[in-house]
């Protein structure tokens, strides 16, 4: 497992470096989040031993099984677990307990619940607002076209005391040519820029966008975090 994982990881890292070079960016400014959903904890530990420090999980139930086991095995507080899948409000308390960052905040209600539970745990939780840029009905997130609603949500969420609004997240549609996803990534970057201009007190340093098939295009359009699973771990298990 380790040798195959090492080869795949190096290939992804080379892709990140190449895309950063094309965009005139420092590869060190881009965080690779290894999406480990359905993978056994042993795969996470092997990736950790190869230098991975950021992992993404999609489901609370799976994270509840794997994250404590990983923490016990590694005892490394520098490892960051990102909740990247849809998060129901009723599971906000578990998310705050398990995860170090939540990428999929798609409502003011969810942000407020995360804030309340983070307060109870005396924790500051970084979050991203998920934006549905593509307009696909199957995707979650704030509606990209309803700017007033989105801007109002940012105003409200930015005032919460125990969560830190760090950026925006989106998922591009599945397309045959990764370049077809470019307008989605560009639109998210432009939305971030518009928000920072409109609200001088709001700083959104991160854009979480790009996955296995399109992360290089996402980097060219400004991604600071790419969520890559299959290209590192192989096909999903189960």
Q: Mean pLDDT throughout 204-226?
A: 97
Residue 96 has pLDDT above 80, yes or no: yes
Share of residues in the chain with pLDDT > 90 (%)? 89
pLDDT at 58 over 70: yes
- Single out the residue of 16, 1, 80 nearest to residue 212, CA to CA: 16
| Per-domain boundaries in the chain | 2-233
Q: How confident is the model at residue 1 (pLDDT cuts 50, 70, 90)?
A: low
pLDDT at 215: 98
CA distance 219 to 222: 5
Q: What tokens appear for 89 in the block?
A: 């409000």
State the Cα–Cα distance between residues 22 and 14, nearest whole angstrom. Answer: 12
How confident is the model over 4-21, as pLDDT tens digits? 899 999 999 999 999 999
Contacts of 177 (CB under 8 A, 6+ apart): none
pTM: 0.95
pLDDT recorded at residue 2: 75
Buried b (16+ CB within 10 A) or exposed e, 55-78: bbbbbbebbeebbeebeeeeeeee
Q: Mind listing the pLDDT tens digit for each residue in 138-178? A: 889 999 999 999 999 999 999 999 999 999 999 999 899 99
Is pLDDT of 137 > 70? yes
Q: Which residues contact 114 (CB under 8 A, 6 or more apart)?
A: 92, 95, 96, 102, 105, 125, 127, 163
For residue 135, name the pLDDT band (cuts at 50, 70, 90): confident
CA dihedral over 219, 222, 225, 227, signed as positive or negative: negative
pLDDT on residue 236: 67
What was the pLDDT predicted at 32? 98
pLDDT value at residue 200: 84
Position 235 pLDDT exceeds 80: no
Most confident of 78-82, 151-155, 198-202: 78-82
Among 6-10, 104-108, 174-178, 217-221, name the one with the lowest average pLDDT.
174-178
CATH code of the region 2-233: 3.20.20.10
CA distance readout (Å), 58 to 113, 121, 189: 19, 22, 23
Please determine, for residue 201, whether its predicted confidence score (pLDDT) is greater than 90.
no
Average pLDDT value over all residues in the chain: 95
């Amino acid at each position: 497992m380790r040798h195959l994982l090492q080869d795949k990881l190096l290939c992804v890292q080379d892709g990140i470096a190449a895309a950063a070079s094309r965009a005139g960016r420092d590869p060190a400014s881009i965080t690779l989040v290894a999406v480990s959903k359905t993978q056994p904890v042993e795969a996470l530990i092997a990736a950790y031993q190869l230098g991975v420090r950021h992992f993404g999980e999609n489901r609370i139930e799976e994270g509840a099984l794997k994250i404590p086991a990983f923490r016990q095995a590694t005892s490394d507080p520098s490892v960051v677990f990102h909740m990247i899948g849809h998060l129901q409000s009723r599971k906000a308390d578990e998310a705050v307990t398990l995860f170090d960052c939540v990428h999929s905040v798609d409502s003011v209600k969810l942000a407020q619940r995360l804030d309340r539970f983070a307060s109870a745990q005396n924790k500051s939780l970084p979050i991203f607002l998920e934006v549905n840029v593509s307009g696909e009905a199957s995707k979650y997130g704030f509606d990209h076209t309803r700017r007033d609603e989105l801007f109002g949500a940012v105003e409200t969420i930015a005032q919460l005391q125990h969560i830190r609004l760090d950026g925006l997240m989106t998922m591009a549609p599945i397309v045959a040519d990764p370049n077809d996803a470019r307008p989605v990534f560009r639109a998210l970057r432009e939305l971030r820029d518009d928000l920072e201009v409109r609200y001088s007190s709001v700083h959104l340093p991160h854009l979480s966008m790009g996955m296995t098939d399109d992360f290089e295009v996402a980097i060219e359009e400004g991604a600071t975090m790419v969520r890559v699973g299959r290209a590192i771990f192989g096909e999903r298990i189960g």
